[in-house]
Amino acid sequence: MEISVQNKYPAPIFKAAKPARLITALQNLHLTRPEDIKMTDVFIKEVSKNDEVANKLVKKYLCKGSAALVFETPEGEILKLTLGNHFPLNRPVESFDVPVYEHKKSGKVHCYLEEKLYQHGLSDVFVDEVKNHIREKGYRTFDFYDGDINQIGLSKEGKLYLLDPECAKYKTIFHAIFDKIKQLLK
């Protein structure tokens, strides 16, 4: 497999000449990103436990977070790998979150298939709209600052979404417990 690496800020992007298996893409990241070896080691070990996840096809590595790696699939969707559940305190997927098409698990790694969102031309007004939507749902924003357009995206239908679920957390642990009890009663 031939991979070209472009060193662009904030993360290098590779594109496979042909779609590659996820496990192969992770192994290539392991070789080309020495600063991320500990993270890729864990992902390789955990993804190897589930053939369905390991054999998912990806065409491009997009970026990484503190506990996540993001790829693009040949179909133009986002494949997000996270260490542990990406939703804080296992909160439910909310209307401000990017819709999850598919969720698989391989050991400690969660694999989410999501719509690829557009970020071009978004302004501070859109950030405020998403932040207000999060607060209206009873959550607090976290690590999501005024003008932080990198945390939001626009769907094909024109709906704004929060890209990183970690930016919307329960207000307190009591809110989380109350929400879990409410979900059990439903």
Residue type, position 179, single letter: D
- What integer pLDDT is reported at residue 173 of this predicted model? 62
Query: The dihedral of CA 105, 108, 110, 111: what is its sign?
Result: negative
pLDDT tens digits for range 99-145 = 999 999 998 999 999 999 988 778 888 888 888 888 898 888 888 77
- pLDDT at residue 34 above 50? yes
- pLDDT at residue 76 above 60? yes
Give every CB contact of residue 134 below 8 A, 6+ residues apart in sequence: 94, 96, 140, 141, 144, 162, 167, 168
User: Which neighbouring-strand residues pair with 69?
Assistant: 64, 81
- What integer pLDDT is reported at residue 165 of this predicted model? 84
Residue 166 CB neighbour total at 10 angstroms: 19
pTM: 0.78
The DSSP element (H or E) to which 127 belongs, if any, is helix 124-136
- What integer pLDDT is reported at residue 24 of this predicted model? 92
Q: Percentage of the chain with pLDDT > 70? A: 82
The DSSP element (H or E) to which 106 belongs, if any, is strand 100-106
